[in-house]
Amino acid sequence: MKSYGAEFFGTFWLVLGGCGSAVLAAAFPGLGIGFTGVSLAFGLTVLTMAYAIGHISGCHLNPAVSIGLWAGGRFPANKLLPYIVAQVLGGIVAGGVLYLIASGKAGFDLAGGFASNGYGEHSPGGFSLTAALVCEVVMTMMFLIVILGATDARAPQGFAPLPIGLCLTLIHLISIPVTNTSVNPARSTAVAVYVGGWATSQLWLFWVAPIIGALLGAVVYRLIAANDR
C-alpha cells in the first residue's frame, strides 16, 4: 500500500507541477514561462519525485512506464493494475486542485483546453492525428529506453533521476507543439475529465500511443542490452 500511495502522490505532483505550469504560468502577461518553462516543469516533477519516492515505489508516475517496465522484465504483472489506478486517481485529484486554483481568476474558461492533449484543431500547432500518433509512440519509446538504461544495474548508481527528468524535458521541448505532450495516459486523463467534450473524445490516442511506445521501448532496450549481459 505504501508503494501505491507513493504513486498516487507522485503523479499528483507531476500533474500539478507540469499541467499547473502550463495553465497558470505559461502565458502569464509579460512574465510567461512559455513552452520551455513548461517543459522544464515536467522534467523537474519527475526529477524531484524520483529522489523522493523512487526508493518506495520506483517512481513510475505513468501507466505507460509501468507497462513498459513490466515488458522489460523490471516489474511484476500483479502490481500493474493497482499502480495504474493509483496513478490515474492521483492525476485526477491534482487536476481538481488545479481547477480550484485556476478558476479563482476572473475570466477562466475550460474552453482554453486546461493543458489537455489533442490533435487536429486541438493540437497547439494544428498537427494531424497521424502526426500525433507517431510523435507520442516515438517519444514514449525513447523515454522507456532512457528509463531502462538509466536504471540498469550496470549504469552509474544514484544518478538515474537526472537523465530521466532531462529526457522528459527534451520530449516536451519537441512535442508540445504537436500534442501538448502526453507520453503519459494518467497526465492526459487528469485534465481531460474536467474539460470533457473534445478532450475526452480524443483521449483514446493518449492511452493507446504511449502504451505502444512503451512496449516498443522495452523490446528495443532488451535487444540492444541483451548481448552485454
Model confidence over 103-112: pLDDT tens digits?
A: 999 889 998 8
Are the CB atoms for 3 and 30 separated by under 8 Å?
no
Report how many domains make up the chain.
Answer: 1
Strand ranges, E, within the chain: none
65 closest CA partner among 153, 174, 201, 160: 160
Q: What is the pLDDT of the chain when averaged over all its residues?
A: 95
178 closest CA partner among 157, 204, 206, 149: 206
pLDDT digits (tens, 9 = 90+) for 116-146: 999 999 999 999 999 999 999 999 999 999 9
Percent of the chain residues past pLDDT 90, beyond the cut: 90
pLDDT (0 to 100) of residue 161 = 95
- The sign of the CA dihedral 36, 39, 201, 190 is negative
pLDDT (0 to 100) of residue 227 = 65
CA-to-CA dists, residue 94 to 52, 98, 187, 216, angstroms: 18, 6, 10, 29
pLDDT (0 to 100) of residue 61 = 97
**Residue type (1 letter), 90:** G
Residue 11, domain CATH:
1.20.1080.10
Are the CB atoms for 80 and 70 separated by under 8 Å?
yes
Domain of residue 20 covers 1-225
Report field, pTM of the whole predicted structure over 0.85: yes
Mean pLDDT of 92-105: 96
Whether 1 has a pLDDT exceeding 90, the answer reads no
